[in-house]
Amino acid sequence: MNPESSFSNDNREQLEARLQQLKSSYEQILSQGLALDLTRGKPSTAQLTLCDSMDGILNGNYLTENGTDCRNYGGGLGIPEARKLAADYLGCDPKQTLVGGNSSLQLMYQCVLYSHLFGDADAEAWSREAGSDKIKFLCPAPGYDRHFSVCEALGIEMIPVAMTDRGPDMDQVEALVQADPLIKGIWCVPRYSNPSGVVYADSTVQRISKLGNIAGNNFRIIWDNAYAVHHLVDEPPELANILELSRQHGTLDNVYAIGSTSKITFAGAGMAFLASSESNISTLASHLSYLTIGPDKINQLRHVKFLKDNNTIKNHMDQHKAILRPKFDLVQQHLDKAFAGKSLNGEAMGRWTIPKGGYFVLFDTQPGLAQQVISLTGAAGVKLTPAGATWPYGNDPNDSNIRLAPSFPELHEIDAAMKVFTLCVEMVTLEQALQSG
Amino acid sequence: MNPESSFSNDNREQLEARLQQLKSSYEQILSQGLALDLTRGKPSTAQLTLCDSMDGILNGNYLTENGTDCRNYGGGLGIPEARKLAADYLGCDPKQTLVGGNSSLQLMYQCVLYSHLFGDADAEAWSREAGSDKIKFLCPAPGYDRHFSVCEALGIEMIPVAMTDRGPDMDQVEALVQADPLIKGIWCVPRYSNPSGVVYADSTVQRISKLGNIAGNNFRIIWDNAYAVHHLVDEPPELANILELSRQHGTLDNVYAIGSTSKITFAGAGMAFLASSESNISTLASHLSYLTIGPDKINQLRHVKFLKDNNTIKNHMDQHKAILRPKFDLVQQHLDKAFAGKSLNGEAMGRWTIPKGGYFVLFDTQPGLAQQVISLTGAAGVKLTPAGATWPYGNDPNDSNIRLAPSFPELHEIDAAMKVFTLCVEMVTLEQALQSG
């Protein structure tokens, strides 16, 4: 950033004039009654329509390859062909997988709940080990709000960990787990982190895969590979295979790797799956057997018939990319136009990510302004994820992170929303500069 | 039963000759290598096929009446038309319902888990109230093994309660809850109890609906109406509406009424739902929001399009009845032929139910023989539900209950299985009579 850019050299009068101009534009927008939404990473209608042929795809054939009738009860691990698909997707053996219902969040919640209450085969239950103390989870932040909610729901204390452009700050992570045996897990979204878009570097994955050797056998890495194939570029960055690395380091029990088709097929009616050691899968299946006689195997069969294999999934995701890419490009254009090279008080007016995949752009205001920006855009009819939502306890220490989710709205809506957003950022930043100046 | 029947007047030699004859028949059966299964209440292939048109029924229309796109995220309470269907089915207002995924057991497990760990709006969490003590559930027995497993999984102590032909022994139930405040719930399958087929009498439902007034506001009646429309006769017995009665008595918070389409459409891919007070539904939805962004709405929409309303459900269930009735009749014919009017040592050789609906026939051997009978039929290739499975902790105090589930096998398989079963019962009963005489 160049502190000598045009804005920083404006005199106070010019800045005040610009602020008045922005305020007047904002007043005009208020009168338009906009209703736009950039809050959640939801697929758009065009993306969903790519899979419309799934209803009816079975053509009356409800049997798996091994003759199981998907219409009837049973099969807590998922049907064999779905486990094969999940294994190829996550990079492991089908025996290491469990395929569930429509929600990967539910699988993660259950893994955490069961580790807390019951423990795994050789792993003491966290609640027993902690006694009257609380156990703790490491939360690379900013991160995924629904991960943090699981901790809140189950009374697990959250410790924010800094995110770098190579993933969580591993020096910090290792020091923390070494110092405190009540730290029992870490949330990870390793490729296209929510919301920063960071892809964990090989060395980071290596160090994460060895955490179990420091933290002990009931430590759990929740490896939420939610955007594994959700690329926005043609040459996507590689991600090291944590299941393979953990197997090599004898720490496979420490890892739950999770995937789902929620943003491949239908967000509300996809197929979620999980991989770990065979022993963990067996323990999990046994816990799950108390609450269900099995997942929806018919929907699993639909998914296998539609998605077939990694190559078919890749081609399918290219169609998603073709829909999503222009939306992300449009966001970048607005941000570039409004803020590229512009600084105020010697500081950039905004910084933002250029993700190579995933569902989010992370925008950083100058410190202390995110809440105000989000509140102003909201009042103007453009909903954004609440300030702080991407931090444990909703507490963004700098009040600067704003998560933009352009997947669901149409291009013209993104265009309108980004005009409001950039206007509000500039207005709030100017106002603060003038007050403090 | 007539104690003067032919068998009881046989002399020892005749009985021994008969036993030899049975043993020789049993040896022959052993050599046949049968593989038959009367263990679980699973629908048969013919029943499942009734719903084959469900895959493809949406015909590309994934929208609800109010314009919600079922393909996308959201809608934790279920889609409005599914809630309407559930409300009509259970007899309440749609606002009192929550429609979930494919497993009613999961809804029940979650209700029990959340009441245990977190409590409801005005209801103290059981675990907090109990401190270091265990909370307890009343378990009318024989009952449904998977209800009992939920208690075992969550460390809830089970107290068996006698079943009468009018439902649970309410004198016993009321006395127990009055005496022990740590009794926090009761499992009920009110119409066609699993496995006895009993339909709760109006007076029983009345008294159950008032239990909250004795037991306090965090007591929960798990009213698993699993066989609400699963009749085997043309004039099915009525069941009083517990939701309506509880509303009248101000005890609606004490009731979770549950239903599912697992034995209406697809056992593994049906739609489960629950009704209670609006306040409980709201609390439950809020707990569920931590583990899922919503149920599979597409499958809910399929169900609404297929099942439409109570009248369409009734007609559909008539088709199920046409398939199931001959199977249940065949079981009765075998039992009649083998045991009607026959006694030994002044006691009937067997007693059994003639259910008007549901999925089971309950057979009682003379005391102490069930385990032996099940083991012998198993060795001959006819699987039965393990002895004691229908009792808390697997402990049938009389070792006499045997649950027969004739829904899944074909008629010729039931015929073969019942021959083996009746033979084993007679053989074991004779043997015991000869040993003790």
Summarised one tens digit per residue, pLDDT across range B144-161 is 999 999 999 999 999 999
pLDDT tens by residue, A4-31: 444 455 588 999 999 999 999 999 999 9
Binding-face residues of B in 104-123 toward A, CB within 8 A: 105-106, 109-110
Residue A180 lies in a domain: yes
A14 touches chain B (CB under 8 A): no
Find the closest chain B residue to A69 by CA distance: B45
A302 touches chain B (CB under 8 A): yes
pLDDT tens by residue, A206-264: 999 999 999 999 999 999 999 999 999 999 999 999 999 999 999 999 999 999 999 99
Contact A221, A254 (CB under 8 A): yes
pLDDT tens by residue, A376-426: 999 999 999 999 999 999 999 999 999 999 999 999 999 999 999 999 999
Domain residues for B80?
Answer: 66-307
Kindly indicate the confidence band of residue A436, based on its pLDDT and cuts at 50, 70 and 90. Answer: confident
Query: A74-80 contacts: CB < 8 A, separation 24 or more?
Result: A74/A293, A74/A294, A74/B268, A75/A294, A75/A295, A75/A297, A75/B268, A76/A285, A76/A288, A76/A289, A76/A292, A76/A293, A76/A294, A76/A295, A77/A281, A77/A285, A78/A273, A78/A295, A78/A297, A78/A300, A79/A297, A79/A300, A79/A301, A79/A304
Residue A56 lies in a domain: no
**Residue A301 sits in the same domain as residue A328:** no
**Residue B283 sits in the same domain as residue B328:** no
Beta-carbon separation of A73 and B106 below 8 A? no
- The percentage of chain B sitting over the pLDDT mark of 70, rounded to a whole number, equals 97
Instruction: State chain B's mean pLDDT as an integer.
Output: 95
pLDDT tens by residue, A88-98: 999 999 999 99
Residue A185 lies in a domain: yes
Residue B127 confidence (pLDDT): 93
Residue A117's CATH number? 3.40.640.10
**Residue B302 sits in the same domain as residue B323:** no
Helix (H, G, I), strand (E, B) or coil at B44: coil
**Residue A293 sits in the same domain as residue A335:** no
B73 touches chain A (CB under 8 A): yes
Domain boundary among A279, A307, A335: A307
Residue B239 lies in a domain: yes
**Residue B380 sits in the same domain as residue B363:** yes
DSSP class of A318: H
Using the predicted structure, report yes or no on whether residue A3 has a pLDDT greater than 60.
no
**Residue B355 sits in the same domain as residue B272:** no
Residue A52 lies in a domain: no
**Residue A67 sits in the same domain as residue A214:** yes
**Residue A209 sits in the same domain as residue A302:** yes
- Substitution target in B47, B50, B79, B103 with the highest count of A β-carbons within 10 Å is B103
Residue B336 lies in a domain: yes
**Residue B391 sits in the same domain as residue B341:** yes
Residue A345 confidence (pLDDT): 81
Residue B60 lies in a domain: no
Which among B70, B268, B294 is the nearest to A71, CB-wise? B268
| DSSP H or E segment with residue B138 | strand B136-141
**Residue A92 sits in the same domain as residue A137:** yes
Residue A121 confidence (pLDDT): 77
Average pLDDT for B393-400: 97
Using the predicted structure, report yes or no on whether residue B6 has a pLDDT greater than 60.
no
Chain B hits for A151, Cβ within 8 Å:
none
Q: Give me the residue label for tokens 């795809």.
A: A57
Residue B9 confidence (pLDDT): 57
B71–chain A nearest CA distance, Å: 5
Is residue A259 packed enough to be buried (19+ CB in 10 Å), middle (13-18) or exposed (0-12)? buried
pLDDT tens by residue, A292-334: 999 999 999 999 999 999 999 999 999 999 999 999 999 999 9
- Substitution target in A53, A63, A77, A102 with the highest count of B β-carbons within 10 Å is A102
Domain boundary among A307, A327, A345: A307
The neighbour count for residue A155, using CB atoms within 10 Å, is 12
Beta-carbon separation of B290 and A149 below 8 A? yes
Chain B hits for A55, Cβ within 8 Å:
55-60, 62, 298, 302
A103 touches chain B (CB under 8 A): yes
Kindly indicate the confidence band of residue B1, based on its pLDDT and cuts at 50, 70 and 90. Answer: very low
Residue B10 confidence (pLDDT): 56
Which among A74, A293, A296 is the nearest to B296, CB-wise? A296
Domain count, chain B: 2
Chain A hits for B287, Cβ within 8 Å:
153
Residue A189 confidence (pLDDT): 98
- Substitution target in A116, A147, A292 with the highest count of B β-carbons within 10 Å is A292
pLDDT tens by residue, B251-262: 999 999 999 999
B62 touches chain A (CB under 8 A): yes
pLDDT tens by residue, A358-374: 999 999 999 999 999 99
Binding-face residues of A in 164-193 toward B, CB within 8 A: none
Domain boundary among B254, B275, B307: B307
**Residue B301 sits in the same domain as residue B320:** no
